[in-house]
């Protein structure tokens, strides 16, 4: 049976289905040597190229859906390559044969916390799409005077430059002086939405950490810069959440237990090794410029 070309490219990990529609419309995809058009369908045995590079296509049956949770540090860009040479969230991820990791949404450079990656572009697209209303929860530290009227305004809705926005839930978590911690929940992922909502009340966000996506919270023992691959149960939670068929098996050996102290230490060790490699690379680059 044939499938839409953008769906096949998304499953191959080239991006979300919406992104692939744009790529096809730009004339960057060819099928058997002929430039493809939006609406084309493929059987799966064609030679498909993106920007001249051959795309390895896997059938639905061949490709196991994989999902990673990454604890993003501040200072990393949510892009594959940064023109200014800044570190990106993709730098630390493991390599994946015949596909690539797709980020489920973005966190800006000054935001840390839970970032999800998958090799299934369709899953990524659905988890990001506002129609599925997947909850995101953030721990946020704000600086300024807060009163109940402001919180009610943020719950009922504020008109931003790109439309109405609101927090579905706001929970006070304590603070001192003019610094206050809140947990906020929303079900869409517009650019800098959490920061812009608070700024609409003339208070400043000084820390922002994503702690939950859907019903799955990031484990406290996962260190900054570390990642963990989800087991079959959690992968299928996300798939069922957005109306995709469940996976029956995983092609990788995944420990579905929570992160214990030993596993946390191993992750920290790998994070430290990665940081050392970055530091050594930067030192070598500086020597070459001298």
The catalytic residue positions are: 108
- C-beta of residue 198 within 8 angstroms of C-beta of residue 205: yes
In 10 A of CB 37, how many CB atoms? 12
CA 103, CA 67: separation in Å to the nearest integer? 10
Residue spans of beta strands (DSSP E) within 6-95: 29-31, 34-35, 41-42, 48-50, 53-54, 67-72
- C-beta of residue 99 within 8 angstroms of C-beta of residue 56: yes
Give exposure, 2-27, as e/b (b: 16+ Cβ within 10 Å): eebbbbbbbbbbbbbbebbbebbeee
- C-beta of residue 78 within 8 angstroms of C-beta of residue 88: yes
Q: Which residues contact 178 (CB under 8 A, 6 or more apart)?
A: 143, 144, 145
228's enclosing H/E stretch is: strand 227-229
- C-beta of residue 108 within 8 angstroms of C-beta of residue 192: yes
- Please report, to the nearest 10 degrees, the dihedral formed by the alpha carbons of residues 231, 264, 115, 111 taken in order: 170
- Here the tokens at position 42 are 């493929």
Using DSSP's 3-state secondary structure scheme, residue 116 falls into: strand
């Amino acid at each position: 049976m044939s499938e839409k070309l953008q769906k096949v490219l998304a499953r191959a990990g080239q991006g979300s289905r919406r992104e692939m529609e744009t790529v096809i419309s730009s004339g960057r995809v060819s099928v058997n040597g002929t430039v493809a058009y939006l609406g084309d369908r493929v059987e799966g045995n064609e030679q498909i190229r993106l920007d001249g590079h051959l795309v390895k296509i896997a059938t639905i049956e061949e490709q196991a859906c994989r999902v990673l949770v990454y604890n993003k540090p501040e200072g990393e860009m949510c892009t594959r390559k940064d023109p200014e040479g800044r570190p990106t969230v993709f730098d630390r991820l493991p390599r994946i044969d015949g596909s690539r990791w797709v980020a489920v949404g973005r966190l800006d450079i000054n935001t840390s916390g839970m970032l999800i990656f998958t090799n299934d572009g369709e899953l990524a697209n659905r988890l990001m799409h506002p129609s599925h209303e997947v909850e995101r929860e953030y721990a946020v530290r704000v600086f300024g005077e807060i009163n109940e009227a402001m919180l009610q305004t943020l719950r009922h809705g504020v008109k931003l430059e790109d439309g109405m926005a609101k927090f579905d839930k706001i929970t006070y978590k304590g603070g001192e002086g003019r610094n206050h911690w809140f947990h906020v929940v929303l079900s869409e992922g517009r650019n800098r939405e959490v920061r812009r909502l608070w700024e609409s009340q003339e208070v400043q966000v000084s820390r922002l950490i994503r702690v939950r996506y859907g019903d799955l919270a990031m484990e406290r023992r996962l260190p900054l810069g570390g990642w963990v691959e989800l087991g079959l149960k959690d992968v299928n939670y996300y798939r069922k959440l957005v109306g995709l068929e469940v996976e029956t098996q995983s092609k990788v050996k995944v420990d579905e237990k929570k992160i214990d102290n030993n596993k946390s230490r191993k992750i920290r060790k790998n994070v430290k090794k990665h940081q050392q490699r970055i530091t050594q690379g930067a030192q070598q680059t500086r020597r070459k410029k001298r």
